[in-house]
């Protein structure tokens, strides 16, 4: 019997739920060969419990295994990781003194942080040409195992790599990936050769802090992207150009929605009247859904004594990201989350099992001290508002409440014509609560998703330490996915706050706390909507819904009577009274992204009618004013995505 045969087997779980026994010490690649020789030959990398790993990674008993081939979604991530190495090799060919730090793949491509080299965007063309040569040479990408001692010697002059070795690569042996004699410390995974990169390009240069910490060295970050084919790259670059045109910062300035001036401080947006109008409509929509579903509104202050944050556990976990201040020798903190305040409200009175669930909601402003290099428009800010909801429920109520929350989330999604990606995040390695309640909670979440017919991914180990969760990512019109709504089960905070209710047995019981948000944060959701609609908001969200365009000064009086008729029904309407031609007024209305324009001249004034144009340049004349007003009210109340008066009445 061979030594391999003598070793005990381990059992791994395959994507279809079946189990496979393999010898202890087997790698992901070995598992693939056990499934079939063709799959073994095609293996590029793998996923162990949802984490992307190199194909040489060893599996252990109970691991959930996925095999990554060039047909897998994850293949592009692996390819881009290799492209980051190709960039680094090309850079050091041209600038041998350049010091490398880290270069990971990203959802959009890759980046590499470097120092000891002056780079601007004019330098990228030469580096990209060198990358093309490396790709064309089709060098093998080889995995090499070295001792930590040898690695330390290799990086004797690179303090950044040495820090990685000291803090993250604690094993006696570490891995390098080598191509054409050039090497980089890396865990992988990578493709087999540089020639597998069908097309790559460099995009921009920016500054970044080492480890993302402001007190650390400032590095040069070079962004790039890579694809398996040239056509895929061209499609991506076209989409990138469209994304620039839809950039919420650009549209926000054009439509006077918001600003983040330097004088106010980083990540602290100011909402101008048009932007606040949109936010108010979103708030009213969410508030209505909350009240319809039995939530009661609460309010908590922006700042608490830090004793509260210590009790909730946020002080320990979020201290570095909190804004702290001393008041009369006491420490206070701006709230990074709303949930401790809601838990404290629940704790102010006694509850019976008959009283549960208790449902609170608050559009609560919170503050997190993100690194300045991570701030970006409304997508990541210091001050943001969460459409927060917290429910205090009995364990037997979890499923029904989760179903209700998901229905609310999908009402938001469908109303705004958005797409979402759904994921179930399960128990992480570090967690609180017993096995039984975790298993029950995960099963209830899974049952809700499956019985509701929702397509979802499983993210093993990505749950919060206090409970499993369902995450929803919004996919915008450009196919990009942004973090959005979430439903989280929490067994930790009720324990920390000593929350109880009296059960049927007259004994005290611990409630389960559910955290949920329908939008996520208003800031990021606003960003998604601006870019999703390209500023062409549906009528109910549009800051200005109708503009009256008088043909001449003689019809100004009638234009204002039309305005008053619309305004009386709550329509946001203005009169364009500048001394312009009608054609110029119409062009300006299109530039201002108006759902509707109403042209009024002598004929309309005499007949008491209007001529209506929508943003698609559809038009209809001789419209009875009352008919138009009734339609606007109906279109607003039904929250239709597109203005449809002209097309629905032809």
Q: How confident is the model at residue 372 (pLDDT cuts 50, 70, 90)?
A: low
Handedness of CA 591, 596, 601, 603 (dihedral sign): positive
Q: What is the mean pLDDT of residues 525-544?
A: 95
Q: pLDDT tier at 244 (50, 70, 90 boundaries)? A: confident
Q: Is 224:118 a contact under the CB 8 Å cutoff?
A: no
Q: What's the pLDDT at 373?
A: 63
Rounded Cα distance, 29 and 42, in Å: 9
Query: Does residue 339 have a known ligand-binding role?
Result: yes
pLDDT tens track for 475-522? 766 677 888 999 999 888 899 899 999 999 999 999 999 999 999 999
Pairing between strand 303-305 and 218-227? unpaired
Q: Any known ligand binding at 272?
A: no
pLDDT of residue 400: 93
Angle between helices 435-451 and 398-415 (to 10 degrees): 40
Residue at token pair 């076209």: 238
Predicted confidence (pLDDT) per residue in 98-151, tens digit: 999 999 999 889 999 999 999 999 999 999 999 999 999 999 999 999 999 999
Q: Give the rounded percent of residues in the chain with a pLDDT score beyond 70.
A: 97
**Is 60 exceeded by the pLDDT of residue 650?**
no
Residue 433 confidence (pLDDT) above 80: no
What pLDDT score does 435 carry? 82
Q: What is the pLDDT at residue 2?
A: 44
Query: Cβ of 16: how many Cβ atoms within 10 Å?
Result: 5
DSSP state, residue 185:
E
Q: Average pLDDT, stretch 206-228?
A: 90
* Distance from C-alpha of 286 to C-alpha of 264, rounded to nearest angstrom: 29
Task: Name the CATH architecture for the domain at 258-300+338-533.
Answer: 2-Layer Sandwich (3.30)
Per-residue pLDDT reduced to its tens digit, 391-401: 999 999 999 99
> Whole-angstrom distance between the N-terminal and C-terminal Cα of the chain?
84
198-225 average pLDDT score: 91
Q: pLDDT tens-digit profile of 330-363? A: 999 999 999 999 999 999 999 999 999 999 999 9
pTM: 0.81
Mean pLDDT of 606-626: 94
Mean pLDDT of 530-551: 96
* pLDDT of 458 higher than 90: no
Fold classification of 3-68 (topology level): Ubiquitin-like (UB roll) (3.10.20)
The SS3 assignment for 90 reads: helix
CB atoms < 10 A from the CB of 121, how many? 12
The two beta strands, 457-459 and 419-425, are: parallel
CA–centroid distance for 53 within its chain:
23
The fold of the 75-233 domain, in CATH, is: 3.30.980
The domains of the chain are located at 3-68, 75-233, 258-300+338-533, 546-648
Three-state SS annotation for 399-419: HHHHHHHHHHHHHHHHHCCCE
Measured between alpha carbons, how far is 15 from 115 in angstroms, rounded to an integer? 42
Residue in this structure with the two tokens 């709230």, named with its chain if needed? 335
Q: Tell me the pLDDT of the chain averaged across its residues.
A: 92
Question: Stretch 145-158: mean pLDDT, rounded?
Answer: 93
Separation CA 253–CA 339 (nearest Å): 34
How many Cβ atoms are within 10 Å of 566's Cβ, its own excluded? 22
Residue 3: pLDDT over 70:
no
Q: Over the stretch 551-593, which tens digit does the pLDDT of each residue have?
A: 999 999 999 999 999 999 999 999 999 999 999 999 999 999 9
The answer for residues whose C-beta is within 8 angstroms of residue 379's C-beta and 6 or more apart is 248, 482, 523, 524, 527
pLDDT score of 170: 67
If phi > 0 it is left, if psi is from -120 to 50 it is alpha, else beta; for residue 576 that is beta
482: left (phi over 0), alpha (psi -120 to 50) or beta: beta
Peptide bond preceding 357: is omega within 30 degrees of 0, i.e. cis? yes
9-15 contacts at long range (C-beta below 8 A, 24 or more positions apart): 10/59, 10/60, 10/61, 10/62, 10/63, 11/61, 11/62, 12/59, 12/61, 12/62, 12/63, 12/64, 12/65, 13/62, 13/63, 13/64, 13/65, 14/64, 14/65, 15/64, 15/65, 15/66
- List, for residues 299-326, the tens digit of each pLDDT value: 999 999 999 988 988 887 778 888 999 9
Instruction: Compute the distance between CA of residue 350 and CA of residue 572 in angstroms, rounded to an integer.
Output: 46
Q: How far apart are CA 589 and CA 620, in angstroms?
A: 17
The total of other beta-carbon atoms located within 10 Å of residue 446's CB is 16
Instruction: Domain 546-648: give its CATH code.
Output: 3.40.50.800
- The residues, ordered by sequence, that sit 6+ positions from 500 with a Cβ below 8 Å of its Cβ are 351, 508, 509, 510, 511
**50-75 tens-digit pLDDT:** 889 999 999 999 898 999 999 998 99
Q: How far apart, in whole angstroms, are the C-alpha atoms of residue 539 and residue 594?
A: 9
**Which of 158-172, 263-277, 427-441, 456-470 tops mean pLDDT?**
263-277
Mean local confidence (pLDDT), 412-418: 92
Question: Percent of the chain, pLDDT > 90?
Answer: 75
The CA distance from 457 to 410, in Å, is 17
The predicted model gives 228-232 an average pLDDT of: 95
Does residue 6 register a pLDDT over 60? no
């Amino acid at each position: 019997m061979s030594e391999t045969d003598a070793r005990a087997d381990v059992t791994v779980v395959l994507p279809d739920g079946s189990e496979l026994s393999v010898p202890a010490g087997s790698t992901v690649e070995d598992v693939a060969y056990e499934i079939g020789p063709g799959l073994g030959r095609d293996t590029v990398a793998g996923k162990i419990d949802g984490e992307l790993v190199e194909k040489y990674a060893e599996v252990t008993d109970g691991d959930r295994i996925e095999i990554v081939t060039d047909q897998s979604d994850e293949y592009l991530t692996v390819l881009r990781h290799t492209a980051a190495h190709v960039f680094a090799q090309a850079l050091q060919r041209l600038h041998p003194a350049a010091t490398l730090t880290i270069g990971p793949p990203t959802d959009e491509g890759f980046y590499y942080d470097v120092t000891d080299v002056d780079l601007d965007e004019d330098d990228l063309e030469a580096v990209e040409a060198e990358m093309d040569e490396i790709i064309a040479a089709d060098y093998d990408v080889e995995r090499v195992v070295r001792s930590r001692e040898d690695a330390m010697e290799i990086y004797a002059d690179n303090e950044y790599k040495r820090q990685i070795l000291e803090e993250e690569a604690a094993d006696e042996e570490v891995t390098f990936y080598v191509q054409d004699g050039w090497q980089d410390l890396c865990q992988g995974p990578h493709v087999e050769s540089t020639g597998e990169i069908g097309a790559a390009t460099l995009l921009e240069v920016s500054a970044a802090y080492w480890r993302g910490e402001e007190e650390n060295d400032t590095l040069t970050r070079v962004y790039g992207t890579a694809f398996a084919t040239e056509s895929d790259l061209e499609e991506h670059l076209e989409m990138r150009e469209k994304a620039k045109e839809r950039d919420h910062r650009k549209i926000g300035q054009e439509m006077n929605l918001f600003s983040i001036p330097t004088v106010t401080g980083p990540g602290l947006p100011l909402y101008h009247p048009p932007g606040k109008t949109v936010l108010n409509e979103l708030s009213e929509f969410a508030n209505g859904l909350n009240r319809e579903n039995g939530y009661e509104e609460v309010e908590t202050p922006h700042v608490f004594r830090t004793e509260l944050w210590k009790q909730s556990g946020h002080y320990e976990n979020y201290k570095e990201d909190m804004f702290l201040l001393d008041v009369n020798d006491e420490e206070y903190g701006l709230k990074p989350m709303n949930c401790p305040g809601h838990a404290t409200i629940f704790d102010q009175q006694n509850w019976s099992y008959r009283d549960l669930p208790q449902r609170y909601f608050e559009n609560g402003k919170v503050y997190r001290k993100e690194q300045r290099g991570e701030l970006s428009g409304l997508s990541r800010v210091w001050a943001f508002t969460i459409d927060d909801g917290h429910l205090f429920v009995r364990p037997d109520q979890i499923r029904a409440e989760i179903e209700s929350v998901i229905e609310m989330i999908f009402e938001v999604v469908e109303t705004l014509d958005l797409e979402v990606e759904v994921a179930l995040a399960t128990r992480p390695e570090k967690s609180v609560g017993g096995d039984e309640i975790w298993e029950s909670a995960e099963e209830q979440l899974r049952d809700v998703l499956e019985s509701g017919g929702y397509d979802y991914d499983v993210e093993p180990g990505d749950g919060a330490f206090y409970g499993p969760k369902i995450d929803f990512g919004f996919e915008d019109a450009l196919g990009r996915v942004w973090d959005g709504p979430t439903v989280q089960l929490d067994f930790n905070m009720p324990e920390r706050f000593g929350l109880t209710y009296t059960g049927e047995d007259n004994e005290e019981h611990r409630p389960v706390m559910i955290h949920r948000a329908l939008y996520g944060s208003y800031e990021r959701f606003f960003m998604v909507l601006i870019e999703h609609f390209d500023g062409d908001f549906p009528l109910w969200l549009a800051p200005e819904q109708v503009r009256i365009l008088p043909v001449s000064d003689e019809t100004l009086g009638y234009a204002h009577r039309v305005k008053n008729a619309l305004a009386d029904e709550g329509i946001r309407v203005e009169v364009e009274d500048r001394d312009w031609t009608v054609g110029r007024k119409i062009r300006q209305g299109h530039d201002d992204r108006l759902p509707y324009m109403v042209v009024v001249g002598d004929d309309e004034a005499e007949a008491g009618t209007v001529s209506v144009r929508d943003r698609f340049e559809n038009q209809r004349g001789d419209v009875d004013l009352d008919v138009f007003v009734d339609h606007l009210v109906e279109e607003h109340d039904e929250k239709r995505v597109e203005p449809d008066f002209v097309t629905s009445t032809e």
